[in-house]
Amino acid sequence: MSRPDSALFAAGHGFYQFAITRASFDRSLYYNLLLQPSLAIPDHYFLQGRWLGDHLAEYPSRDSWIEIGLRNGFVTPYFRREGSSLSELLALMEGSDRRGFSAEAQRIAERIDRTPFTASYWSSLDNSALFGAALTSYLGAEQAPMLETGLDPDDFIGFWNRSRAWIGQELAIALERSSSLLGSEGILLSQLIQVSGERLLGGDRGRIENISELLSQVKSQVGATAERDLRLYYTCACELYNRSLANTILTAGNSPRWEPFVAAMDLWRNNLLSGEADAGGAVDHPDELIDVSIRLPRPAHLRSVSGDVLLAIRRSPACERYFEALSHWRRTPTDQMLRDELVDSLRRYSGEIMKHVGNEVGVLGFRPHFISKVSDLGGIVEKVPGVVQGFLAVGATAGAAAADTSSPLIPAGLFSLFCLQVAAKYVSPSEKAKVLISRRLGVRMRADITVSHR
């Protein structure tokens, strides 16, 4: 079952975590769950890499944002075999030479299996065929894709020229090995990294589990240039894999890493799609870009917010109006009145998010607690810049001295309030977010936090 209003959680791709930090993962997860109608997570994205497991570990009471989403239908898991549990699928994938699984994969699978949800089906065979065709077409082309901005800080053109000597043979070997395992034509990332390892490190290097391991070995044994080229190669491969998977499960794709050469990949894809649209007689419209500023809680603070708060936010009238306005605008993205309604509802909804999260973590991003003496301020003092720390420390010492000679509550209490006022200027649980709205982009805060208009 497809979800046309859903987006693929691309930052959850375990093989891609060589380029995705935990902070980037958190930002993508939390903001997508706040702004997307639905988030799609395929079975192997739960189990590969470490970031999703680390997210679950933050919530020992099983009220993580992902589990709340699964229980309430706005996180949709996609399983490659109908009627199977995630634990059974893990055994199936390990038995068919899939790789990159977290050391905690079995524990993660068992925990997810204890959560009630309804899974949708996706075809691994279809995706491998689509990915193989896209990878071969893109990286096997004679000319490098055009960099729209003209900037190339990653030396992508240099990588492209150097890779012409080996790319054709490498893709052919990966296709042959993958097709043998699949029983049909396609490419598996697990086989592709093995072929790359044999090319760079020799055929006797043994089994390579993930891209991070491969990059580390190549950098230490071959050199920095080879490692940089390999990093560009697998960024392209993972981006194309995420796009192929989004097409396979009929959801919107997004990109957790936005570089000039990644933008060139979308320009290449858009040129193909625009040719199909022209053939169908599509009418083009000017693409007016609207810039909207809102405030959202910082992802680091959202780690301390339970999934129950997310559920309260998603059930609020402000959230309902935002998703209603989004749905109407997506059907007619050129309608200015519907766009204005979307902008207004988004601003009100961001205020609702801040209100709920503020009640949970407090004005400074800390859980509210009573400060009874000056020594309790140590945790707050550590959060502010060094000069301010010194100022507060001197005041705290004076407050403590006063507390020894008079009432322990009045001086300490007054100075506690003063410290909170000063620290509030430097520690904020929220950040300004710029949201771009256009017919072509959809609603985009970042490349990996994009609500497509389609």
pLDDT (tens digit, 9 = 90+) per residue, 266-276?
777 655 444 44
> For 275-322, what is each residue's pLDDT tens digit?
444 444 444 556 788 899 999 999 999 999 999 999 999 999 999 999
| pLDDT of the residue at 12 | 95
User: What pLDDT does 285 receive?
Assistant: 56
What are the strands of the beta sheet with 430-438, ordered from one edge?
Answer: 290-297, 430-438, 442-446, 449-451
Do 51 and 108 contact (CB within 8 A), yes or no?
no
- Find the helix or strand (DSSP H, E) in which 288 lies: none
Residue 61 scores a pLDDT above 60: yes
DSSP 3-state assignment of 104?
coil
pLDDT number for residue 236: 94
* pLDDT at site 288: 83
| pLDDT > 90: percent of the chain | 65
Q: What is the pLDDT of residues 193-217, one digit of tens each?
A: 999 999 999 988 889 999 999 999 9
Q: Rounded to whole angstroms, how far apart are CA atoms 372 and 374? A: 7
Per-residue pLDDT for 19 more than 70? yes
- Mean pLDDT for all residues in the chain: 84
How far CA 307 is from CA of 72, 113, 253, 349, 364, in Å, comes to 11, 18, 24, 18, 20
Q: Is the pLDDT assigned to residue 2 strictly greater than 70?
A: no
pLDDT at 3 over 90: no
Most confident by average pLDDT, 20-24, 84-88, 380-384, 418-422: 84-88
pTM of the model: 0.83
